[in-house]
């Protein structure tokens, strides 16, 4: 399996519309990627490792796909549409990691 992890850094200039991200962007992903997504989760950062320290990421989202081919055929084919939606909910560029899941 392949996991796509998308992390939105918690910067001083950050603007992030969580409601839009969860409801609108999440629905866009479901509409475009559908059954290719095996599992998904959205993690809203609440703090860092030390007391009072802000979370390093405001949101971390994980999408799991059955294979690299499934990821490429679904996400890869729709990447332009997905990325075009980013300005609707944030002004920061996400960090992305693709991992193999065991």
- Whether 49 shows a pLDDT value over 90: the answer reads no
pLDDT in the model for residue 100: 97
**Mean pLDDT in residue range 32-55:** 94
- Whole-angstrom distance, CA of residue 35 vs CA of residue 60: 21
pTM for this entry:
0.93
Domain ranges (residues) in the chain: 2-100
CATH of domain 2-100: 3.30.70.100
Neighbour tally for 69: CB within 10 Å:
12
Tokens 């991200």 appear where? 21
- Quick: pLDDT tens for 53-102: 999 999 999 999 999 999 999 999 999 999 999 999 999 999 999 999 99
CB-based contacts of 48, cutoff 8 Å, min separation 6: 54, 55, 56
Name the more confident of 96 and 50: 96
């Amino acid at each position: 399996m392949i996991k796509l992890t998308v992390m939105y850094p918690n910067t001083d200039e950050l603007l992030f519309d969580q409601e839009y991200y969860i409801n609108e962007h999440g629905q866009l992903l479901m509409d475009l990627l559908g059954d290719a997504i095996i599992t998904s989760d959205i993690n809203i950062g609440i703090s860092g490792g030390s007391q009072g320290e802000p979370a390093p990421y405001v949101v971390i989202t994980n999408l799991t796909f059955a294979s690299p081919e499934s990821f490429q055929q679904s996400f890869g084919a729709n990447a332009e549409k997905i990325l075009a939606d980013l300005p609707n909910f944030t002004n920061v560029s996400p960090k992305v990691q693709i991992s193999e899941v065991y």
